Structure 1
């Protein structure tokens, strides 16, 4: 049977298809490059010919999703009967509907970019999205200027400012994600909703429209998106373990509420903030060189060091070993 040689674009899209399916199913953090390679059925060299790192996959998926979103509103964009204001409101209404329908998958794949250590990745994926959306929004604003409905000097500059205004909500979204499942959840969602409403007024004024002309969010939208459950288990905010990957290198590791310690699968239930950073800087022995054995070794070491604190936080803990 002759070997099928795929074009570079076909192979790249095939890799993105596999990565997108895994990110939506497992979440970004629980998917490795090796998982993507195995799913697509390519060599490691073949993968790295197209992508340098896992972050590149998320950036590529973002651009694809943005193009798909534009395709799904094409009927609104091309309807000659719509005024610019009607087109813009219709575009945003359809976008909200799609975001709500896909919220669990998007949360699984993209929540990770709202962590402080991933700010650069957040800006990368926003740049990928803006590159797709800028010409679409520019066209609508140019129509509004021609109709005399929008008061803007330069439609493209106005479009870029609006898109970056939307991207500026990073910190507010991050605070809301961290508050989910805590006593601050309702207040955080309300604050985020108010911010989105204020952004709508800011966009009205950028375009020279009366306040309230554009609908950015509808009642209940922000809560529905933020309470959408990703298809993966997620820790309550603040539940962390600090363990050592190697000599002198300490990182924060977020684990599910049940940690599987290698083949033994020893259950270690943690409550929020128990042992948080408790061993940072002190380090744990690097342990065996084998990766699986090292994970088991580290889990046991962490459990031993945290046992007193865990017992204090959860009286039933000691009886589960």
Structure 2
């Protein structure tokens, strides 16, 4: 019974995911979801209190996909600290990779509430993942800051706001300039050696250390 209930719940989330993608959250009704799954209204409300409750379950699914790989990398202390930091950032790259479809989905105007909710998840769950790496870096003498969590919180909020295509419109030139300034200031916030993060970014094909001063 528990397995059947879980399967039914996932069917409802799957249907909502498809409908939200096609019609947007605002344009999808609970009737649409009920018809898509082929269930009675009572069955839907047995599993979810409301359409927003379904959306929250979908956001949780998205979050698991976005954060799962990053958490695994962050916990792997065999990877050097700076490389681990860059790999986590790459895993959390919200404009590409496995998360591209998710972010395109929630950036639609009709999915504004979904966007707001997933931003909240990012602001709350990403800094702790990065903080553990920074603490390892402090122990190894790579970083020097008394505020590792606060630094990561500032960095995540800035990055997800300025580099989010919905919030700030940037040309490629402006984006490159912002990225260079961002990395320079991250080094200063963390008390890292000048150029250390930029050099690692270059190794991953993500930056140009020759422009770094």
Q: Normalization by structure 1: what TM-score?
A: 0.49
Match of 2:129 in 1: 136
Does 2:46 correspond to 1:53?
no
Within-5 A mapping of 1:10-49 = 12-24=9-21, 26=22, 28-29=24-25, 31-48=28-45
Match of 2:171 in 1: 188
Cα offsets for 1:74-127 (capped at 9, x unmatched): 5533333222211101222334398235524531x1112599xx4x65433211
Q: What is the SS of the residue equivalent to 1:213?
A: helix
Residue 171 and residue 42 in structure 1: after superposition, are their counterparts in 2 closer, same or farther (change >3 A)?
A: same
Residue 170 and residue 41 in structure 1: after superposition, are their counterparts in 2 closer, same or farther (change >3 A)?
A: farther
Instruction: Give the one of 208, 218, 222 matched to 2:206.
Output: 218
Structure 1 residue 171 displacement after superposition: 7.5
Mapped partners of 1:82, 1:94: distance in 2: 14
Mean CA deviation greater in 148-157 or 188-197:
188-197
Residue 106 and residue 34 in structure 1: after superposition, are their counterparts in 2 closer, same or farther (change >3 A)?
A: farther
Q: What is the SS of the residue equivalent to 1:91?
A: helix
Match of 1:275 in 2: none
Structure 1 residue 208 displacement after superposition: 1.8
Does 2:67 correspond to 1:79?
no
**C-alpha contact (below 8 Å) 1:14/1:40 kept by paired residues:** yes
Within-5 A mapping of 1:82-161 = 82-96=79-93, 99-104=96-101, 106-107=103-104, 109-112=105-108, 118=112, 122-161=115-154
Structure with larger Rg: 1
Match of 1:65 in 2: 62
Residue 191 and residue 81 in structure 1: after superposition, are their counterparts in 2 closer, same or farther (change >3 A)?
A: same
Question: Alignment RMSD, CA only?
Answer: 3.8
Does 2:146 correspond to 1:163?
no
Mapped partners of 2:82, 2:181: distance in 1: 18
Cα offsets for 1:128-180 (capped at 9, x unmatched): 2333323311211221122121222132222222222223327753454xxxx
Mapped partners of 2:42, 2:176: distance in 1: 45
Within-5 A mapping of 1:289-304 = none
Count matched residues. 200
Structure having the larger proportion of residues in helix: 2
Mapped partners of 1:22, 1:114: distance in 2: 12
Mapped partners of 2:205, 2:28: distance in 1: 32
Structure 1 residue 213 displacement after superposition: 0.9
Mapped partners of 1:111, 1:217: distance in 2: 27
Q: What is the SS of the residue equivalent to 1:200?
A: helix
Unaligned runs of 5+ in 1: 177-186, 220-321
Q: What is the SS of the residue equivalent to 2:107?
A: helix
Unaligned runs of 5+ in 2: 208-213
Residue 102 and residue 127 in structure 1: after superposition, are their counterparts in 2 closer, same or farther (change >3 A)?
A: closer
Residue 74 and residue 160 in structure 1: after superposition, are their counterparts in 2 closer, same or farther (change >3 A)?
A: closer
Q: What is the SS of the residue equivalent to 1:153?
A: coil
